[in-house]
């Protein structure tokens, strides 16, 4: 019994933030009906495409049903309205005002369905000077300040390789919907939820925004380094880079012991966490002189044995084959609608120790039209 097993969600979403939000709710047991435009979600055309079906689309649309509705058609809008009248939750990530113009806005639907929880995900929110502006993960990473701290001080601006603005907004949306459903149990009333990619991006930047509030200074890009801990970064060994994090004096003593440089503990520049953080560039030079004598694997083994957190810098292929990932059962087989057998990273959340299961494979375009219409 998943926690949202009796909840019906209607999703009017495209590409990433909204579909990810819908999938998180679907993973929790909700019946998510994905309303797609003719031609389908744009993500259906993103590579890798396996015999005509996008694995990118599959990665954020499992456990859903698909129906195609042309919302420029009055008859299809009526079907959409009937779906919404029976829904517990609506998720949409269109430009602000678009759903209202279609007759599918919250102000109209709440009169028909007073318990409806309606979540809008957009670039900047539903009101304000930028509300009418569109946005993509790249532009929101730039506007939010995330790109200003990504990379190092010598390079060009770099966005995070994972679309954090998209997926943070989806996470905030799913979290807010779950909270609103709990509140509805008490009030028996629905409500409107406004989630912006900009707000979500700043929300997960709490350490950087608090640094600005506390000092009046912007956090600089630091590569893999940490502003308040050292040694805490990627280091070059004889063959490749690895990371090591010694965030307190006890771990620092272990580092000095492993590298055979106990004299560093008595040096003024490295005697305290604050001093090491302030002088971490010179500290890194000293440590890399030691690390250059051995392979990264050797240093990882030595630090692990000494209890110092460290790790190789994995590719996603490496990460997905990690023994802990296998133990957790996060990678599950998935059959695409065209019969292609593949795999997916399922929900990492467990309830009562049970692994997540795929109740529904990612849908073919309009796969469930007849089924959904029959239910209406």
Active site residues: 166
317 Cβ partners below 8 Å, 6+ apart? none
DSSP label at residue 44: G
CA 173 to each of CA 35, 93, 169, 233, 242: distance values in angstroms, whole numbers, following the listed order = 18, 11, 6, 32, 35
222: nearest Cα among 210, 212, 236, 208 = 208
> What are the C-alpha distances in Å from 97 to residues 71, 107, 188, 196, 314?
14, 11, 27, 14, 43
Is the torsion defined by CA of 99, 101, 107, 112 positive or negative?
A: negative
**Cα separation, 9 vs 341, whole angstroms:** 28
How is residue 182 written in tokens? 């709990």
DSSP summary character for residue 230: S
| Nearest-5° Cα angle at 361, 193 to 174 | 15
The DSSP output letter for 351 is: B
What's the gap between Cα 233 and its chain centre?
A: 23
Nearest of 92, 192, 196 to residue 135 by alpha carbon: 196
Using the Cα atoms of residue 316, residue 321, residue 324 and residue 327 in order, give the sign of their dihedral. Answer: positive
Residue among 138, 35, 30 nearest 88 (CA): 30
Strand order in the sheet with 232-236: 232-236, 241-245, 310-312
State the Cα–Cα distance between residues 282 and 18, nearest whole angstrom: 45
* Nearest by Cα to 27 from 347, 354, 368, 364: 347
Dist. CA 188–CA 124, nearest whole Å: 29
């Amino acid at each position: 019994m998943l926690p949202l097993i009796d909840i019906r969600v209607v999703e009017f979403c495209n590409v990433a933030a909204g579909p990810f939000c819908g999938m998180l709710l679907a993973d929790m047991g909700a019946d998510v009906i994905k309303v797609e435009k003719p031609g389908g979600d744009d993500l259906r055309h993103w590579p890798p495409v396996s015999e005509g079906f996008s694995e990118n689309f599959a990665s954020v649309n499992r456990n859903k049903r698909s129906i195609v509705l042309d919302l420029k058609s009055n008859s299809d809008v009526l079907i959409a309205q009937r779906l919404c009248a029976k829904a517990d939750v609506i998720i949409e990530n269109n430009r602000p005002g678009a759903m209202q113009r279609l007759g599918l806005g919250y102000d109209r639907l709440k009169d028909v369905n007073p318990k409806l929880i309606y979540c809008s995900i957009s670039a900047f929110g539903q009101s304000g000077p930028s509300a009418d502006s569109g946005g993509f993960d790249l532009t929101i990473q730039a506007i939010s300040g995330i790109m200003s701290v990504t990379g190092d001080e010598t390079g060009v601006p770099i966005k995070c390789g994972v679309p954090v603005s998209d997926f943070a907004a989806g996470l905030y949306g799913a979290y807010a919907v779950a909270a609103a459903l709990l509140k509805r149990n008490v009030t028996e009333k629905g409500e409107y939820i406004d989630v912006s990619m900009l707000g979500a991006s700043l929300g997960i930047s709490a350490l950087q925004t608090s640094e600005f509030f506390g000092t009046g200074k912007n956090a600089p890009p630091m590569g893999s380094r940490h502003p308040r801990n050292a040694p805490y970064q990627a280091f070059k060994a004889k063959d490749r880079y690895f990371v090591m994090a010694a965030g307190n004096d006890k771990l620092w003593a272990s580092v000095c012991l492993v590298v055979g440089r106990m004299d560093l503990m008595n040096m003024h520049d490295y005697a305290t966490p604050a001093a090491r953080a302030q002088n971490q560039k010179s500290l890194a030079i000293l440590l890399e002189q030691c690390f250059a004598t051995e392979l990264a694997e050797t240093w990882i083994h030595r630090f692990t044995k000494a209890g110092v957190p460290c790790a190789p810098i994995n590719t996603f292929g490496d990460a997905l084959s990690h023994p802990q990932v296998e133990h957790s059962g996060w990678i599950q087989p998935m059959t695409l609608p065209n019969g292609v057998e593949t795999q997916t990273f399922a929900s990492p959340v467990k309830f009562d120790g049970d692994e997540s299961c795929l109740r529904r494979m990612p849908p073919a375009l309009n796969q469930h039209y007849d089924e959904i219409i029959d239910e209406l």
